A and B are shown apart, each in its own frame.
Chain A
Amino acid sequence: MKKQYVVLAVALVIGLVLGFALLSKGDAKALNVNDIGADPAAFTGTITVTGIMAGVSQYDKSVIGIMDIKELQCQSPNCNKIYIPIKVTGALPSVGDEIRATGKFEKNAQGYLFAAEKIKVVQNHKIGG
């Protein structure tokens, strides 16, 4: 009887580890801002983008701009900051929040806008005070 419990416990641990690995694999597919910023039209269908919330549009308060995570480390004035505009439905993330946005690019008069269907805040990086 005892052995059965041990086997059950081991199976549970293995299951949890595998589950975590599979979930992590899903997260790893998120695209960085610098990967897509140069040619957003090349990305079709629903994708997940990860980046840092950098600010809110002055013209549309439901549009935020996100920059690449790497830009947090670059301190020179020459930083290559590309911002991707994201249309958010619901609560806006805070400046400095590392987010994962799932949605698709939509073309408009100004260029491309990422219409987010889902936004997940991963952590806050405390930028901009």
Chain B
Amino acid sequence: MTLSKLVIRNITRRRGRFIFTLLGITIGIASFVTFLSMGGSLKSEINRESAALGANLIVTPIGSCAYEQVSILTGEVLPSNITMENVAKIRGIKGMSAVPVLTEKTAITNRPVSVNGVDVAQMKGFKGWEVEKGAYFSEPGEAAAVVGFAAAELFKLDTGSTITVRGEKLQVKGVLKETGGRDDLTVFIPLPVAQRLYKTGDVVSYMAVKVENLALTDSYIQQIREATNLGVISDKQMLKSVLSIVGTVNITLQMIAAVSVLAAAFGIVNTMLTATYERKREIGVLQALGAKQSTIFGIFLLESGFYGILGGAIGVVVGLLVSTIAAPYISQNAFTSFVKSSGSGAMIDMKTVVGSILFSALVAIVAGVYPAWRAARLSPVEAISYE
């Protein structure tokens, strides 16, 4: 009988114990992978949305917190108190182009959808939008809508369809080409129309700014602050600030998962110690046949390692499945809403898959050291005389 066959036979001899010990490590690794893959997905979504925003600087009302910065990326409704006078002042600064955005929401068939009031001509050039179907706005104050690619698909909108925003029917004039960002799920209407419908007055929620010379970014920030007394952050600062909060949340979740892996490790210790006591006679026979202490130590270590590898592999599959299924339901917070919008919750990363299986194997091997040591140091007389 080969060593591997002996290990598998020993482990599966007590099926109930084998299954429950395996379940422990499987659940631990599954929760670890779930949090890890969802965290990875969240980070990549944030990076993608930040890139899709296409701005070097964001002008927000003074005192905006990181949660409001996240709202810019998620398309949530923001406080609107940047006046058009401030918009004009920022537009007057040379070396950059600035577009104002009013973020609002409406619903189509009872499903919430983001509505952005934009300077239609300027925004098209700023974002580099192309029209997939129909036409773009022809006038700055045209009472019509242009919808993002995914929104058109989701709500079955086409050119000529009508949507009701704040009680007013607007005709869908065109559908934008897919951008890969939040714009795909947004309904765009001209800024004056949005201000009128939502009764916001002469204000916008934020301004996206593109600078001509990136080396002078700090100087532009200073100029905007001096001209308007508004908050200004660079895209990199915003990304850093959002990712740092997401990172803290991720680490906390991973710590919780690590505790469940630790609990599973104690389950392996318990199982292997029980096996050591039960198999004293077998150990004695092996010793009588000339097996070295290192061989017996190796057999027990391989057994616990087997739990780790098998439990890790099953845990990875379960974890990825759970994160994919759970993602659409996690939408109660600004950070996790990224996962919801991404369409796929789990980010299948080979590093996560291989790393988790190796981690599981390592934990199981470490858990098996003490029982293996106990088994190896049994004297042949003690072992063989065990009844």
A residues with a Cβ closer than 8 A to B are 21, 24-25, 28, 31-32, 34-39, 41-45, 47, 50, 69-70, 73-80, 82
Contact = CB atoms under 8 A, between A and B. Distances in A.
Given A28-B329, A75-B65, A78-B63, 4 more contacts: A35-B107, A36-B112, A39-B198, A78-B68
A3 B107 CA distance: 52
Contacts of B386: none
A41 B331 CA distance: 23
Nearest to A27: B329
B248 to A, nearest CB: 12
A32 B334 CA distance: 11
Given A24-B329, A69-B332, A74-B67, A38 B77 contact: yes
A39 B165 contact: yes
A21 to B, nearest CB: 8
Q: What is the interface of chain B mostly: helix, strand, loop, or mixed?
A: loop
B71 to A, nearest CB: 8
Nearest to B112: A35
Contacts of A70: 67, 76, 333-334
Contacts of A45: 110
Nearest to A74: B67
Contact of B104 (A24, A38, A47, A69): A38
B64 to A, nearest CB: 6
B65 A78 contact: yes
A73 B67 contact: yes
A103 to B, nearest CB: 13
B164 interface: yes
B110 A43 contact: yes
B380 interface: no
Nearest to A47: B110
Given A70-B333, A73-B67, A39 B166 contact: yes
A74 B64 CA distance: 9
Contact of B107 (A28, A43, A74, A79): A43
Contacts of B165: 39, 42
A21 B325 CA distance: 10
Interface in B329-368: 329, 331-334
B65 A42 contact: no
Interface in B53-95: 61-65, 67-68, 71, 76-79, 81
Interface residues of B, number: 33
A102 to B, nearest CB: 13
A21 B332 CA distance: 17
A79 to B, nearest CB: 7
Contacts of A21: 325
A32 B336 CA distance: 14
Contacts of A77: 63
B277 to A, nearest CB: 26
Which one of B62, B110, B331 has the greatest number of beta carbons of chain A within 10 Å?
A: B110
B167 interface: yes
Contacts of B76: 34, 70
B210 interface: no
Closest 4 CB pairs of A and B: A42-B107, A35-B112, A76-B65, A80-B79
Contacts of B198: 38-39
A41 B333 CA distance: 24
A80 B104 contact: no
Contacts of B71: 80
Nearest to A81: B79
A60 to B, nearest CB: 24
A39 B106 contact: yes
Nearest to B332: A69
Given A80-B78, A80-B79, A74 B65 contact: yes
B247 interface: no
Nearest to B329: A28
Contacts of A24: 329
Nearest to B60: A78
A80 B68 contact: yes
Contact of B105 (A38, A47, A73, A78): A38
18 contacts: A28-B329, A35-B112, A36-B112, A38-B105, A38-B198, A39-B106, A42-B165, A43-B107, A43-B110, A47-B110, A70-B76, A70-B334, A78-B63, A78-B81, A79-B65, A79-B68, A80-B71, A80-B78
B79 A78 contact: yes
A41 B63 contact: no
Contacts of B112: 31-32, 35-36
